[in-house]
Every structure is written in C-alpha cells, then in structure tokens.
Amino acid sequence: MASSGDRDLVSEMRLMHLVSSMLEKIAQGKDEPEILSAVNALNDRFRSCENILDTLPSGDLTRAEQLDLLKSLHDRLHRTREMVQNYQSLEVFKIVEDDPANNTVPMDT
C-alpha cells in the first residue's frame, strides 16, 4: 500500500489539470494576465517536479543502469551473508556446551 508521502509525490507530479486549465483559458479568450498566471503555475509545477526528481537517489541513472546497480547490490548482499555464515561456522565462534569449563575465558593473574 502506498504511503502518504508516496501519494504526495504522485499528486505533485500530476500536470494535466494545469495544462487543461491553461488551454481552457486560451480557448475562452481570457485576458493575458489570466493566461500568464496559468502558464506560471505550470512552470512552477515543472520546477517542483524537477527538484523532486533531482533529490531521488540514482535518479540520474537510466533504467538499465539502475537495474545493474540493483543486481550488484543484491550480489554484494548475498556474498556478505555467505561470509557471515562462514565466519559463524568457524570453531572460534562455537561454544562447547558439553564442558562448562571451556565456556570461560582464562584470566591472566
């Protein structure tokens, strides 16, 4: 389910109602200040959308580059998980449960 932040982003990216409003004002022969107001509102929204897109991580990458990056990150995660499992299986990390005397760390005196 989309979060409230996601819905805000989606609504911020909707431009059609602004384009429609501008075209209606032109078709109705509205005064130039009203048309310019609609054009400015659309331009402001374009700038807002650009700012949002500029802040997205990896937003400057193509879809193929993003998929390559995602694959490399998944591969890295898989290798890291394998290494953790390998390290956990080393004898040094195993506790001998049969002999409680071996569970203590010797102290230097």
pLDDT tens digits along 29-63: 989 999 999 999 999 999 998 988 888 887 788 89
Termini Cα distance of the chain = 61
pLDDT value of residue 42: 94
- Contact in structure between 75 and 62 (CB atoms under 8 Å): no
Query: In this predicted structure, what is the pLDDT of residue 59?
Result: 78
| Structural contact between residues 45 and 2, judged by C-beta atoms closer than 8 angstroms | no
pLDDT at 19: 93
pLDDT at 9 over 60: yes
Let me know: does 66 contact 59? Beta carbons within 8 Å: no
Q: Give the gyration radius of the chain's Cα atoms.
A: 30
Task: Please determine, for residue 108, whether its predicted confidence score (pLDDT) is greater than 70.
Answer: no
- Smallest CA-to-CA distance from 44 within 52, 60, 94, 31 is with 52
